[in-house]
Amino acid sequence: MDFEIKLIEFLQAGRSTFFDVSFQVISALASVVGVVVFSLVLLLFKRKLCFWYLFSYGFVYLAVSTLKATCQRIRPFNLSENIANIGDVVHGFSFPSGHAACATALAIFLAYFLFGMFKKKSSRVYIVLSCVLYVGLVCLSRMYLGKHYLTDVLGGVFVSAVICALGLLLKYFVERKKKTNEVKNGSK
């Protein structure tokens, strides 16, 4: 844990108004704001995918809330007087990071959505790199702002990635079963 405190202190050593504001904006994109905006975009273009995104995100939220209540890890700014609590006031516990989990869910479903639109390998590489960069910036922002440790953000990413992968796998099997039933009913 000492390493994680030192990492946050290192990030905050380069503090400036520009970084304070930038990282607060980045964090906001991985909160309710991001969920609502992305859900509206999916509703306009891919209603079924919107359902699966919100379905998966619901389980991500439930898992993160349960883990926070179970682990009850104190936030870095409450543990070390050398770490500033930058930006909004947060309550509750630290592990895992809900913002990192939210960003991961959004990135996974955004990549899935965009893969359907762009078939070129180079485009898909850019999509993946952009999504990874977004998640990385959100994780960095949560540490810079003094809200989370490295293991908090990694835990949030892991929990969300597993749940979203299972959600997309379930989507695949449900749609496959539906197509199979349509073929059976159409051939009778």
Q: Residue 34: inside a domain, yes or no?
A: yes
**Confidence check: pLDDT of 134 > 90:** yes
Position 109 in a domain: yes
C-alpha distances out from residue 69 to 21, 72, 73, 177, Å: 29, 5, 9, 37
Out of 68, 73, 75, 99, the active site residue is 99
> Does residue 69 lie in a domain region?
yes
Residue 109 pLDDT: 93
pLDDT of residue 188: 52
The domain of 130 spans 2-180
Q: What total number of domains does the chain contain? A: 1
Burial 151-169 (b: 16+ CB within 10 A, else e): bbbbbbbebbbebbeebbe
Question: Which residue in the block uniquely carries the two structure tokens 């050398």?
Answer: 82
Query: Does position 160 have pLDDT exceeding 60, yes or no?
Result: yes
Catalytic residue among 148, 149, 153, 157: 148
Look up the pTM and report it.
0.88
Look up the CATH number of the domain holding residue 81.
1.20.144
Higher confidence at residue 155 or residue 32? Answer: 155
Residue 187's pLDDT is 57
Active site residue 91: no
User: 119 in helix, strand or coil?
Assistant: coil
Residue 165 lies in a domain: yes
**Res. 75: pLDDT tops 60:** yes
- Quick check: is 50 in a domain? yes
13 occurs within a structural domain? yes
Distance of CA 47 to the CA centre of its chain: 20
Structural Rg of the chain based on CA atoms: 19
Residue 186: pLDDT band (50, 70, 90) is: low
Confidence of residue 80 (pLDDT cuts 50, 70, 90): confident
Higher pLDDT: 181 or 156? It is: 156
First to last CA, the chain: 64
* Per-residue pLDDT band at 1 (split at 50, 70, 90): low
pLDDT of res. 5? 92
Whether 187 maps to a domain, the answer reads: no
Asked if residues 36 and 53 have their Cβ atoms less than 8 Å apart, the reply is no
Q: What is the pLDDT of residue 127?
A: 94
Told to judge if 148 belongs to the known catalytic residues of this protein, a careful annotator would answer yes
pLDDT tens digits for 18-38?
999 999 999 998 988 889 999
Q: Mean of the per-residue pLDDT values for the chain?
A: 91
Q: Is residue 186 part of a domain?
A: no
